[in-house]
Amino acid sequence: MSATEIIIIATVTAFAAFAIGVTGFGFGLIAMSVYSNIITVPESAALVAVLSFGIIVVNLVPIRKHIRFDILWPLLLSALVGVPVGVLVLVRVDEAVLRIGLGSLILATLAVDLFTRNHAVREPSVPVACLVGVASGALGGAYSTSGPPTVMYLSSVMRHKCELKASFSAFFLAVAIIRLPFLLAGGVLSADLFLTALLVLAPLAAGLALGMIVFKRLDDRVVRRIVRVFLAISAIVLIVRS
């Protein structure tokens, strides 16, 4: 990997960390959308998986008392089914198909978000939560991006920003823990990947710290708009390059 590519990855990592610091989600989608244009999709997913642990823990600790376990439990249990399926797809499916799938996933997420963001809060549903958990687990296993279905579901059943951010973070941490042994078994993790992770730790920490400060002071809708534009452009590039 060239110095230019390392700089690009470090910059995107900082931006993705900033986004998750503000909103509680988005790190995987943002990072994968650019990483996958530089390294392979499996390598990108593994790098995101490694970087996610520290981010999620640091993000979660200050607001852990706001976690809604009464809503999360069916998501967590059903994710156990989805993660191994996703990792199997990651290590078996052709690279071009993975890139097109990732780009399509990002665009579909943005489209659904556009039409559902202003809907009223709904009552939690265990059957729906189980389906969401399986889908999120599978996406987490394949792309290290378990966020889209989870974010859509939790955003529809709760509104308080601290509850949302804490619940997102708790779910993503659980998926990250479940995913790691499957990635190890699939041979996706490597020494070079851990070296790359070390090289981007400083920008990651800076982006996350800034995002957590902004979370307390800024309407996160502004950051979400920026993230949406960035993701749309990156998704189109992924699909075209495939």
What's the pLDDT tens digit per position in 160-201?
778 888 888 888 888 888 888 888 887 888 888 889 999 999
Instruction: Answer whether 0.85 is exceeded by the pTM.
Output: no
* pLDDT band of 9, cuts 50, 70, 90: very high
Higher pLDDT, 206 or 178: 206
pLDDT given at position 234: 64
Kindly list the distances between the CA atom of residue 148 and the CA atoms of 66, 140, 172, 185, 201, in Å, as whole numbers in the listed order: 21, 10, 11, 26, 25
Packed helices 161-185 and 41-60: angle between N→C axes, nearest 10 degrees: 140
Closest CA to 9 of 50, 45, 37: 37
Q: Which of 91-105, 110-124, 145-159, 160-174 has the lowest mean pLDDT?
A: 110-124
Packed helices 220-241 and 95-116: angle between N→C axes, nearest 10 degrees: 150
Q: Which of 58-67, 119-128, 231-240 has the lowest mean pLDDT?
A: 231-240
